[in-house]
Structure 1
Amino acid sequence: MPLDTSRTEPHPEPAATHETRRRLEHARTTSLTQLHALTENTHTNEQLMSTQTSAIRQTLQDIDTAFARLEAGTYGTCRTCGTSIPEERLEILPYTSYCVTCRHRTTA
């Protein structure tokens, strides 16, 4: 009687998960530093400061969502089409939820 050897796609190995967490923590720290610098600079145009603050807060929210996807085992999978997001893209934007194709569709 043959054993069923089919398996679901494995979760990232601990070393890969550790590296992903490191990238996400770095992105979070950088965003928090930028947010702090913006709030400290009283010479910045109010409209520009508001726009930049909103963008940084969105990035922080994206980072938190990426941590949740990592815990759920769905990190690295496009939320729109379900394909794997290329590792190169995740290295640059570790908090992205979309492959390049789907991201272009949402901004077009």
Structure 2
Amino acid sequence: MSLDTPRIEARPERLTAHEALQRLEHERNSRLTQLQAIHEAGHGAEEQMMSAQKDTINRVLNEIEAAFTRIHNGSYGICLGCSTHIPVERLEILPYTRFCVPCQRTTA
């Protein structure tokens, strides 16, 4: 192999349960930190915006918890719309996603 040739590593088709759990725990901790920061900011002129942020964060937390359930029941990484495997690249970006990109577009 030439030193000039970039090394291309094969990407796994699926995340391992351990990798998925780590990503989901990171996402959950990030959202909980955001909620804590909003709570500590208190009431002010931006109360309506903060309420919308809280709603969004709570929605994502619910999706994260549902993803933990899918890991435990063996359905994690399977699209709920078409039952195909969700690409690992998508799960790396959105570890709590329930849909592949085409099905997400039709549910949005």
TM-score by length of 2: 0.82
Specify the SS of the correspondent of 1:47.
helix
| Structure 1 residue ranges, 4+ long, deviating more than 6 angstroms after superposition | none
Written as runs of structure 1 = structure 2, the 5 A alignment for 1:1-108 is 16-42=16-42, 43=44, 45-107=46-108
Q: Say what the alpha-carbon RMSD is for the aligned residues.
A: 1.5
If asked which structure has higher relative contact order (CA below 8 Å, sep 6+), I would say 2
Please list the CA deviations of residues 42-100 of structure 1 after superposition, one character each: whole Å capped at 9, or x if unmatched. Answer: 34612111111000001100010000000010000011111111000000000000111
Taking every aligned residue pair, what percent have the same amino acid on both sides?
A: 48
Q: Which runs of 5+ in 2 are unaligned?
A: 1-13
Q: Indicate how the Cα distance of structure 1 residues 50 and 71 shifts in structure 2: closer, same or farther if over 3 A, else same.
A: same
CA distance in 1, matches of 2:55, 2:83: 28
- Aligned counterpart, 1:7: none
Q: Which runs of 5+ in 1 are unaligned?
A: 1-11
TM-score by length of 1: 0.82
